[in-house]
Amino acid sequence: MSAAQFGVYVHIPFCAARCDYCDFATWTDRGHLVDDYVAACVRDIEQRALAPATSVFFGGGTPSLLDAAQLTAILDTIARAPDAEVTVECNPDSIDLTKLRAYADAGVNRVSFGVQSMRAHVLAALGRTHDPDNVARAVDAARAAGIDRVNLDLIYGTPGETIADWEATLDAALALEPGHISAYALTVEPGTPLATAVADGARAAPDDDDQATKYEVADERLGAAGLVWYEVSNWARPGDECRHNLLYWEGGDYAAIGCAAHGHEAGRRAWNVRTPERYVDAIARGVSPEAGHEVLDGPGRCAERLVLGIRTAAGIKLPGPGADSSRVATCITDLADLGLVTRVDDRVVLTRRGRLLGNEAATRLLAALDGPSAAVGTR
């Protein structure tokens, strides 16, 4: 990753409906704040005089819920490199050709559709409201608008979803010929309606073995279709990887715009106030919307690089000679014997089995680190 790369993440916290599994900072009853929030984002960007961005990512929430003029007003304020990647997360039900053309005219060149499933009963179980048929219409509209880089976000492991359901979702997604697919295991997050239903016994919890099987099915089918895994939950055709997300995984720098957004610059990680009201108020008063920060020391940055890097197809670089590095080398040998990692030149990469047990592999490697001489790199 080039040292000149710099990202901007813009959080749009508004949704038409809240999904049962969602624990993100999103609200369905703050529509009256949209104009003030957009103005606050614009003012925040103007005041910060950010470096030209090589990637911009509008996440949420549902960024496509905004009027096109509102979203592009924020984008127009962000200085960008000539070849910047600009992504907008979209709900298939809140997008149309007119809006997508406005996006494209403003510089949006990548869209990520929240699909989750192509089976109606699975969508209902997730609390999703969109019609599966709208996914194809949304993808067609994006291409008609000149936005060729399309990601489809999928979720697997919903109780009640059979293997056949998941295969049907993958087949339907692949039939749309996207350049990128993200697939995430359903998790039960504290405080969500799903967590309450599971705790009350009204809903079953996701099954780990079922999710592992579905991950293997996804990896097999996506790989056969030419989409190569480059991060545990992400597959892309060569050249269609999400540059903004790679910035995260490679420990790059990015600015945080909007409530609850996180940023990172030179080892300093910061996050903004959680609610849109507090963000709007802070910007109006001319004070920083930052709610907190942490500065990673040398060992802390090394550990973070390992945890993030081991998730990617690039893996982590083997440590150099030294007493402490021998412990890491022994750990890597043990992980290889368990079938969790493989060595590619001077790097360590998770196997498919290792991706299913990535946290275990990372935990063992972190335990083996014993000082700066055992430092593990991602580059």
Domains, the chain, ranges and CATH?
6-248 (3.20.20.70), 305-374 (1.10.10.10)
In the chain, the largest separation of any two C-alpha atoms, in whole Å, equals: 62
Provide CB contacts within 8 A for 240, sequence distance 6+. 149, 179, 180
Predicted local confidence at residue 320, as pLDDT: 59
Q: Alpha carbon 273 to chain centroid distance?
A: 20
Q: Pick the range with the lowest mean pLDDT from 32-36, 105-109, 328-332.
A: 328-332
Higher per-residue confidence, 324 vs 292: 292
Alpha carbon distance 188, 193 (integer Å): 9
pLDDT greater than 80 at residue 373: no
- Residue-wise DSSP of 31-90: GGGHHHHHHHHHHHHHHHTPPPEEEEEEEES-GGGS-HHHHHHHHHHS-EEEEEEEEEEE
User: Is beta strand 6-12 parallel, antiparallel or unpaired with respect to 253-257?
Assistant: parallel
Identify the band that residue 267 occupies on the pLDDT scale cut at 50, 70 and 90: confident
Higher per-residue confidence, 117 vs 131: 117
Predicted local confidence at residue 19, as pLDDT: 83
Predicted local confidence at residue 188, as pLDDT: 92
What is this structure's pTM? 0.93
Mean pLDDT of all residues in 331-355: 95
pLDDT greater than 70 at residue 149: yes
**pLDDT tens-digit readout, 72-108:** 999 999 999 999 999 999 999 999 999 999 999 999 9
Mean pLDDT of all residues in 22-51: 92
Closest CA relative to residue 316, chosen from 308, 358, 324, 352: 308
Identify the band that residue 324 occupies on the pLDDT scale cut at 50, 70 and 90: low
Alpha carbon distance 324, 371 (integer Å): 7
pLDDT greater than 90 at residue 300: no
Number of other residues whose CB lies within 10 A of the CB of residue 292: 9
Predicted local confidence at residue 25, as pLDDT: 83
| Cis peptide bond upstream of 61, omega within 30 | yes
Task: Looking at 161-207, list the stretches that DSSP marks H as alpha helix, in order from N- to C-terminal side.
Answer: 163-175, 193-199
